[in-house]
Amino acid sequence: MTTYVYLSLIPEALIASMLPPDDFGLYYAIGSAKRSRGQAIFFSVDRDAINDAGFPLVDADIRCVPHTDGRPKRSLYLSIYRTLERVPRDALTALHLATDDGRVLTIEPQDFVADGEDRAHLYQEFCPVTPRIVSHLDPAEFARFITDKAHNVHVPRIAFAELTLGNLKNNPDHHDIHNLPYPNIGHLRDCLRELAEAPEKATKTVLRQITQEVLFRTIRNGVFVGDATGISAFPLPTHDALEREHLAWWRSAQSTFGQ
């Protein structure tokens, strides 16, 4: 059987498994009786690209084997600390988003292209820290800013998603917020106003950490992994493509409650 290597973001971990991505996503989201169900966000990792990263891959070869009754080994944890920073960006071959009922959407990386809009951005950081941030920086600029060693507060690499702001992206006081599902919209408006009134301010924290699941349906343009060397983009399909080609996943994502 093939041994796959996955990088989970929540929680941060490198995991070996004999399950292919769809089956692993189902297991990781629903699990066995000993694990509560929940979303999963993980990458497929090119094992050859992490041979020199210090992970116990030999141990994976020895221990990631079928059970005596022939069932595949579902998960073997290889790292749970400072994992993202040790996995090269080009080793991330696909992103997998699993809903809480185990539906998996797979997204391959693409070159990042800025949309050129002058607007506010709402970012949900996943790993290694988890605040929710508003910023006037686009995703590539934001990744470069948050990983800049010249700043007192920085991380080696960051994984995050841009979330939709709807009509608030250009006007924090817009009366029509459609169906933005975020808690405490008043606080979000205040953060956006503060950002708009201080052009020199790069970011403003909205939430200090994730306390519930993130709604996949609020992801505006994709998930990103960035550092001082650049950014890898995993853009979500358009709503039309989701409805035509990934309807089961999209319906599940729309029915999930979170923040």
Is residue 116, in this structure, part of any structural domain at all?
Answer: no
148 and 207 housed in the same domain: yes
Task: Name all contacts of 248-254 with Cβ < 8 Å and 24+ positions apart.
Answer: 248/103, 249/97, 249/99, 249/103, 249/104, 249/105, 250/217, 252/99, 252/100, 252/101, 252/103, 253/97, 253/99, 253/103, 253/105, 253/215, 253/216, 253/217, 254/217
| Tens digits of residue pLDDT in 129-180 | 999 999 999 999 999 999 999 999 999 999 999 999 999 999 999 988 877 8
Is-cis flag, bond preceding 11, omega within 30? yes
User: pLDDT by residue (tens digit) across 93-137?
Assistant: 999 999 989 999 999 999 998 888 889 999 999 999 999 999 999
For residue 17, is pLDDT > 90? yes
Q: Based on the domain organization, do 147 and 247 belong to the same domain? A: yes
Range 207-219 average pLDDT: 82
- Indicate if 146 and 244 belong to the same structural domain: yes
Domain containing 221: what range?
121-255
What was the pLDDT predicted at 78? Answer: 97
Mean pLDDT of all residues in 241-249: 96
pLDDT at position 178, please? 78
Residues 251 and 181 in one domain: yes
Quote the pLDDT of residue 51. Answer: 94
Output the pLDDT for position 155: 97
Same domain, 243 and 144: yes
Residue 68 is assigned to a structural domain of this protein: yes
Domain match, 60 and 181 both = no
Residue in the block written with tokens 């539906």: 103
Between 146 and 181, name the one with better pLDDT: 146
For residue 16, being part of any structural domain is answered with yes
* 91 and 169 together in one domain: no
Pair (244, 186) in one structural domain: yes
The count of structural domains within the chain is 2
pTM: 0.93
